Structure 1
Amino acid sequence: MPTSNLTRIQYTQLDTATWCVTAQVSESISHLVTESLWKKSLWLSSYNTSCKDIIKLNSLNWHYQVATAAPRHSVPALARKQRQQQRQGVRQLLQELLKKLEIDDTLDESSFPYRLVNSQHYVCFSHTDANSSKQTTESNQANLTRLHSKIAVVISRQRPAGIDIEINNIAWHVVKRFYSESELAILQELSTDQRERTAKLLWQIKESFIKVNQYTLAQGLGMDYSHLIPSLIENDKEINSTSVPNDSEDANCQSVYRIAALQSQQTVIVF
């Protein structure tokens, strides 16, 4: 069985009721090669190849697989493994955070937003997209050793919180498709570096509010947060806390949410 490993764990307390943790999760994927060779041995046996010949051929093929890059057809398998890794990783990371906070509880995944069974604290997960990083995929094809993902968890005692962790910038054609006219008008006036950084932060804010308010993807990405852009440009602090009205009709939600941008952790939290 593959084993997951959490590294670079970073804990952050955002206020007296909200905590988050980020980490990198990695998993050995060399077993995919073994699985591929096993399937090939079954294929050979169906053509009445002797057991001795199968062992000999697999031995030769093994040396070939180790010495060269992963075959192209393994990429979908790697993506599937990475999604499984992320799902397992965020839940393992949640347990690490609960241990850190000395909370003895379990996760209720029966409905959104997720909550802890006993304390009823709100929980939200985020992880990097398995298909978002071309560089990661190509690296896995070349090395065929480990899969890596960035993962994040937030716990809120008072109300739903959203979290989003992103490694890559958001492509400009994607920005133009989803962002409001007001947001685009401001972004187009910025330098390339400022535009990329600000567009990414806006994306993370939108994703976080989608999780807070249970918006549809199109609805959430289309929300206008242009009024936040000046503070995103001006404030480069490690924790950039900004208040923003919440338009949720849920009577249990307070009217103003705060936004924290953890720059070194590539993470944004709405809480």
Structure 2
Amino acid sequence: MPTSNLTQLQYTQLDTTTWCVTAQVSESISHLVTESLWKKSLWLSSYNTSCKDIIKLNSLNWHYQVALAVPKHSIPALARKQRQQQRHGVRQLLQELLKKLEIDDTLDESSFPYRLVNSQHYVCFSHTGAGSSKQTTKSNQTNFTHLHSKIAVVISHQRPAGIDIEANNIAWHVVKRFYSKSELAILQELSTDQRERTAKLLWQIKESFIKVNQYTLAQGLGMDYSHLIPSLIENNKEINASSLFSNIEDTKRQSVYRIAALQSQQTVIVF
């Protein structure tokens, strides 16, 4: 498995059987530009361009590639690279967590929820959407230099756990589409900042329960958690705090789950 560049690792023990870790994974994408330019060279060679000219062209491309923007046709390749980076990143992060806990085990990915082969710990992953670092040249040309994502892993020995890491707020039109009437009624009465923070936490709780119970997206996002909003608002008073709040009954499994909000890590765990 390719090695990803993991930074900003933060480990958290939630209880005696549940641990999580978050990190950022990043990778240079300059090689994608080089690959595109190389394909152009091969295309020119098919039209009887001399070998000498191709070598000269490649030399110029290598010299000036940092000053080139990613070609439009490379955007799908960047998206594929991002997904691959996230897939590898969370699995590498799991290995870092297992090493931290001195657990020698491997991941069974044959069915959901994921489990470790020997210890049978439950495993859940999360990552943010596509992100990139960019710079602007003197000609106001935007150049993308790195792909990056925030990633998170939780393992639990007792039962399935869900985790969600989100870097951005949830757009209000998306909230109105998926949230229950009771949730919307409360959220609309809040100040803009408080509403955005609370709506985001609700989204993360919903996403986490989707992973715990293998709900469909529409089913999970449509669940009514309006009774949690007072606790979420209270939690939001300390924006950078890590909090454990509100037990919540899971009607599908007839069990009570706990919810942890690691605000500085932009992460919510249901366990």
1:239 aligns with 2:243: yes
Rounded to whole Å, the distance in 2 between the matches of 1:3 and 1:94 is 13
Which residue in the other structure is 1:147 paired with?
A: 147
Higher strand proportion: 2
Specify the code of the residue in structure 2 equivalent to 1:173: H
Question: In the alignment, which residue of structure 1 is the partner of 2:212?
Answer: 212
How far apart, in 2, do the equivalents of 1:76 and 1:194 lie?
36
1:248 aligns with 2:224: no
Q: Give the whole-Å Cα distance in 1 for the aligned partners of 2:102 and 2:222.
A: 39
CA distance in 2 between partners of 1:176 and 1:117 (Å): 41
Q: Is the 8 A contact 1:4 1:28 kept in 2?
A: no
3-state SS of the aligned residue for 1:9?
strand
Q: Is the 8 A contact 1:29 1:147 kept in 2?
A: yes
Deviation at 1:87, TM superposition (A): 0.3
Deviation (angstroms), 1:255: 1.3
Matches within 5 A, 1:193-204: 193-204=193-204
Q: Indicate conservation of the 8 Å contact 1:124/1:155, yes or no.
A: yes
Residues 156-181 of structure 1 deviation map (CA, whole Å, 9 limit, x = unaligned): 01000000000000000000000000
> Structure 2: which 5+ residue stretches go unaligned?
none
User: For structure 1, which segment, 52-61 or 98-107, has the greater mean C-alpha deviation from structure 2 after superposition?
Assistant: 52-61
Could you say what secondary structure the match of 1:73 adopts?
helix
**Deviation larger for 259-268 or 76-85:** 76-85
Alpha-carbon distance between aligned partners in 2 of 1:137 and 1:25, rounded to the nearest angstrom: 12
Contact 1:198 1:229 in 2 (8 A): yes
Structure 1: distance between partners of 2:159 and 2:104: 19
Contact residue 162 and residue 270 of structure 2 kept, 8 A: yes
Which shifted more, 224-233 or 63-72?
A: 63-72
Deviation per residue, 1:119-152 (Å, 9 max, x gap): 101000000122xx5xx37669934332111000
Q: Secondary structure at the match of 2:244?
A: coil
Distance 1:220 1:49 in 2: 58
Q: Which aligned pairs between 1:159-178 and structure 2 lie closer than 5 A?
A: 159-178=159-178
- The reply to whether residue 224 of structure 1 matches residue 224 of structure 2 is yes
How many angstroms does 1:66 deviate by?
A: 2.2
- Asked whether 1:81 is paired with 2:120, we answer no
Cα deviations by residue, 1:230-264 (Å, 9 ceiling, x for unpaired):
00001234123220001124xxxx61000000000
Letter in 2 for 1:255: S
Residue of structure 2 equivalent to 1:25: 25
Any conservation in 1 of the 2:36–2:74 contact (CA below 8 Å)? no
Distance 1:255 1:2 in 2: 39
SS at match of 2:142: helix
User: Distance between the aligned counterparts of 1:118 and 1:232, measured in 2?
Assistant: 37
Q: Pick which of 34-43 and 170-179 moved more.
A: 34-43
Measure the CA separation in 2 of the matches of 1:163 and 1:122: 12
Kindly state the Cα deviation for residue 110 of structure 1 after the two structures are TM-superposed: 0.2
Give the aligned partner of residue 96 of structure 2: 96
CA distance in 1, matches of 2:161, 2:265: 17
What residue number does 1:156 align with? Answer: 156
- Do structure 1's residue 181 and structure 2's residue 185 form an aligned pair? no
Q: Relative to structure 1, is the Cα distance of residues 139 and 88 closer, same or farther in structure 2, using a 3 angstrom cutoff?
A: farther
SS of 1:168 mapped into structure 2: coil
More displaced stretch, 51-60 vs 4-13: 51-60
Q: Percent identity?
A: 87
Q: SS at the partner of 2:55? A: helix
Distance 1:222 1:247, change over 3 A: same
Conserved in 2, the CA contact under 8 Å of 1:113 and 1:160? yes
Opposite residue 262 of structure 2, the aligned amino acid is L
| Contact kept in structure 2, 1:3 and 1:28, CA below 8 Å | no
Q: CA deviation at 1:70?
A: 2.1
Q: By how many angstroms is 1:75 displaced?
A: 2.1
Letter matched to residue 91 of structure 1: R
Structure 1, gaps ≥5 residues long: none
One-letter amino acid matched to 1:207:
E
* Structure 2: distance between partners of 1:52 and 1:149: 41
CA contact (8 A) 1:75 1:137 kept: no
User: Who is 1:11 aligned against?
Assistant: 11
Code of the aligned partner of 1:37: L
Amino acid aligned to 1:263: Q
